[in-house]
């Protein structure tokens, strides 16, 4: 009994468990509040309006995908600086990164404006104001990502949890108020903008000390930066497309009402990811630090996989047993019951996606960027197959599951090749 108690205490105090716990609480609360808001939006907008909102939200997700790769790059280099107590270099790196992100956001706005006619025609959305709001929200999100990445590098998981919670509360309150005031899709999008703004403002203050110690310049090889940043961006963008492009393609191939139904299905399915997304986030800087110090890091990876797998399976089983109950509980309206047959399958898709997310983050944390080619290939395959097979929702979901399983198998083979039985830590 004493040994068991000691094991439990040791497990709870593990840096991955304790770190991810705070991030998990913050992200889970934030995601839960965002989920409640999405439910409110789904219940209070017409099926057509919700289809528009879901497709624009997926577009925002795609535009924001590079932020995850940027975050991974920033976390890796900043963690290395902090692990060596080089705060001046870390501060200079922050300032330089902030400047580059500002330029990136301006370019993003210009490109989005130029492509609006094409996007409008593809998604069947003719209101340019919605696109303007989407781009502003994405720009703020990128700036907030820089701050969050630095706090992640400093292992300030408790602060991250608090900031995500505050941003989630602001998004829910603002979104509901705007919907009540009659802003409809505009109100829903403004809520996303509010979230990014709050996250940026609150996450900036703890970094003032680091910024104030910034040196004149930071020594980071552009070649080294590019060699890591480019494949990392490809890997994360490709991985994220697995649960984004399907919604966008459904909006293109199906009616607005049907797109609204699929958007609701995707929303509920992503609960699996909401419960597990914080684990790779906490794992990443810890493995970077161990890898840099030539310490064992594989155990962290195994723990992360287990923590992600357990809740994912439990939620998916619940979806299979109580699909109609789940849909009525979350979305309320009777029309959404038609998506019940696909809910359990979507749970499987998000479970596989969550596991793939752990694998990809692991490989990137130890600089095995070849993984980007693997993920890009299967993400492209998913898009091609959906273009060919899109007669109904079943075909789209099964295509996504099959390509995700193939990706997972390839990632497992790649891991065994690198760290299988013959692997010995130098």
> Is residue 332 classed as helix, strand or coil in its secondary structure?
coil
Contacts of 152 (CB under 8 A, 6+ apart): 71, 75, 160, 281, 284, 285
Report the pLDDT value the prediction gives residue 115, as an integer from 0 to 100: 79
Tell whether the torsion through CA atoms of 172, 175, 180 and 184 is positive or negative.
negative
Six token digits for residue 57 = 């939200």
Q: Determine the pLDDT at residue 11.
A: 42
Instruction: Please tell me the total number of residues recorded for the chain in this structure.
Output: 426
Query: Could you list the pLDDT tens digit for every one of the 426 residues in the chain?
Result: 444 444 334 444 445 555 456 666 676 677 677 777 877 887 787 777 877 777 777 777 777 767 767 777 788 788 778 777 777 888 888 888 888 888 888 888 788 778 778 877 777 777 777 877 888 888 888 888 888 888 878 777 777 777 778 777 877 888 888 888 888 888 877 877 777 777 778 778 888 777 777 766 655 666 766 777 788 888 988 998 888 888 888 878 888 788 888 888 887 888 788 778 778 877 877 787 777 777 788 888 998 899 899 989 999 999 999 988 888 887 766 778 888 888 999 999 999 999 999 999 999 888 888 999 999 999 999 999 999 998 888 899 999 999 999 999 999 999 999 887 765 554
Instruction: Name the burial class of residue 250, with classes exposed (0-12), middle (13-18) and buried (19+) by CB atoms within 10 angstroms of its CB.
Output: buried
Q: What is the pTM of this model?
A: 0.71
Res 298: pLDDT: 85
- H helix intervals, 45-127: 47-83, 87-123
Q: What is the DSSP letter of 217?
A: -
Give first-to-last CA distance, the chain, whole Å: 37
Between the alpha carbon of residue 312 and those of residues 145, 174, 305, 410, the distances in Å are: 26, 30, 11, 21
DSSP 8-state secondary structure symbol assigned to residue 293: T
- The single-letter DSSP state of residue 218 is -
Residue among 246, 199, 236, 284 at smallest CA distance from 66: 236
- Could you write out the DSSP letters of every residue in 228-290? HHHHHHHHHHHHHHTTTHHHHHHHHHS-HHHHHHHHHHHHHHTHHHHHHTHHHHHHHHHHHHH
Q: Where along the chain do its domains lie?
A: 9-419
Using DSSP's 3-state secondary structure scheme, residue 136 falls into: helix
Say what the pLDDT of residue 222 is: 66
Give the closest residue to 228 by CA, choosing from 104, 378, 75, 410: 75
**Quick check: helix, strand or coil at residue 219?**
coil
CA-nearest of 15, 65, 14, 412 to 235 is: 65
Burial 99-114 (b: 16+ CB within 10 A, else e): eebeebbeebeeebee
224: Cβ contacts below 8 Å, ≥ 6 apart: none
pLDDT confidence of residue 318: 94
With 0-12 / 13-18 / 19 or more C-beta atoms within 10 angstroms meaning exposed / middle / buried, residue 181 is exposed
CB 204 within 8 A of CB 66: no
pLDDT score of 10: 45
Q: Give the span between the Cα atoms of 286 and 283, in whole angstroms.
A: 5
Phi–psi pair at 387, nearest 5 degrees: -60, -35
């Amino acid at each position: 009994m004493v040994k068991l108690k000691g094991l439990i205490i040791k497990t709870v105090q593990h840096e991955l468990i304790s770190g991810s716990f705070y991030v998990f609480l913050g992200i889970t609360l934030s995601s839960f509040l965002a989920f409640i808001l999405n439910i409110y939006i789904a219940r209070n907008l017409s099926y057509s309006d919700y289809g528009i909102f879901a497709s624009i939200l997926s577009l925002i997700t795609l535009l924001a995908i590079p932020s995850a790769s940027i975050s991974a790059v920033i976390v890796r280099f900043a963690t290395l600086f902090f692990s060596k107590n080089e705060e001046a270099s870390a501060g200079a790196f922050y300032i330089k990164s902030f400047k580059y992100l500002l330029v990136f956001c301006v370019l993003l706005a210009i490109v989005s404006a130029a492509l609006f006619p094409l996007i409008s025609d593809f998604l069947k959305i003719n209101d340019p104001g919605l696109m303007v709001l989407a781009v502003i929200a994405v720009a703020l999100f990128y700036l907030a990502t820089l701050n969050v990445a630095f706090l992640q590098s400093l292992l300030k998981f408790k602060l991250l949890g608090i900031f995500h919670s505050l941003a989630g509360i602001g998004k829910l309150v603002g979104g509901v108020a705007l919907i009540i005031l009659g802003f409809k899709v505009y109100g829903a999008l403004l809520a996303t903008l509010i979230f990014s703004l709050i996250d940026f403002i609150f996450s900036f203050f703890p970094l003032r000390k680091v910024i104030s110690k910034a040196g004149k310049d930071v020594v980071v090889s552009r070649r080294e930066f590019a060699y890591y940043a480019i494949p990392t961006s490809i890997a994360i963008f490709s991985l994220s497309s697995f649960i984004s492009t399907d919604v966008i393609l459904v909006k293109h191939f199906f009616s607005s009402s049907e797109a609204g139904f699929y958007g609701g299905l995707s929303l509920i399915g992503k609960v699996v990811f909401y419960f597990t997304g914080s684990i790779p986030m906490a794992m990443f800087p810890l493995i970077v630090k161990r890898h840099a110090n030539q310490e064992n890091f594989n155990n962290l990876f195994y723990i992360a996989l287990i923590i992600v797998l357990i809740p994912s399976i439990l939620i998916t089983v619940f979806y299979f047993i109580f699909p109609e109950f789940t849909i009525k509980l979350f979305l309320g309206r009777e029309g959404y019951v038609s998506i019940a047959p696909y809910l359990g399958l979507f749970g499987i898709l998000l479970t596989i996606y969550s596991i793939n997310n752990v694998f990809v983050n692991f490989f990137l944390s130890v600089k095995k960027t070849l993984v980007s080619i693997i993920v890009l290939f299967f993400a492209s395959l998913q898009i091609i197959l959906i273009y060919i097979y899109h007669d109904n929702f079943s075909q789209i979901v099964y295509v996504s599951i099959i390509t995700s399983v193939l990706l997972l198998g390839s990632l497992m083979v790649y891991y065994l090749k690198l760290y299988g039985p013959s692997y010995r830590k130098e």
